[in-house]
Amino acid sequence: MTRRRAGSQTPVTEAEVRAHPVSLSLLMLMLVSQSACRAAMSIGPSIIERMSAYQRTTGLKPIGLHRPIADKLLLALSHRCVHCGGDGFQPVGTRWVWCEGCGGLGRVITPKAQLTLRRQVAERYPAAAVSEPPSRTLARSSQERR
């Protein structure tokens, strides 16, 4: 590990980083807190909710080696949602709701295209497909759960 000390050309060794776990933990906490604050200040679904919408509408896991192929196929088999402008949600005052046109994906895809996408990706990456087929069921907005 070759990190540089602030204002110095001397690299920080891995042993030095391991010797100060509290500092590393504090740094991680600060980064997570900053990210959470930025997310709380904006209106819209969190990254976890967006991942859920992707899985729900495509029938594929939201993370994995299959994503480049899945995303390329998704672009070819779908079109940008005109209702939400591709955001996947619509702001309602200081709240938000999933877009009814695309189910939160930001793209409109037919049921036949959903199955084609899932089948083609699963042929190459079998672990990418989730056990349940894709659905258009909309999740509740984060504001409705509060």
pLDDT tens, position by position, 98-129: 999 999 999 999 999 999 999 999 999 999 99
Number of structural domains the chain divides into = 2
Alpha-carbon distance 7 to 39, whole Å?
31
pTM here is: 0.62
Looking at the predicted structure, is the pLDDT value of residue 6 above 60? no
**Does any domain span residue 140?**
no
Owner of token pair 């994503």: 67
Q: What is the DSSP letter of 129?
A: B
Residues ≥6 apart with Cβ < 8 Å to 126: none
**Does any domain span residue 13?**
yes
Examine the domain organization and report whether 60 and 124 are in the same domain.
yes
**Does any domain span residue 143?**
no
Domain interval for residue 54: 47-128
What is the pLDDT confidence band of residue 52, given thresholds at 50, 70 and 90?
A: very high
pLDDT of residue 144: 43
Alpha-carbon distance 101 to 97, whole Å?
12
What is the pLDDT confidence band of residue 87, given thresholds at 50, 70 and 90?
A: very high
Alpha-carbon distance 43 to 60, whole Å?
26
Looking at every residue in the chain, the average pLDDT score rounds to 77
Examine the domain organization and report whether 95 and 119 are in the same domain.
yes
Examine the domain organization and report whether 113 and 51 are in the same domain.
yes
- Identify the weakest region by mean pLDDT among 22-31, 37-46, 61-70: 22-31
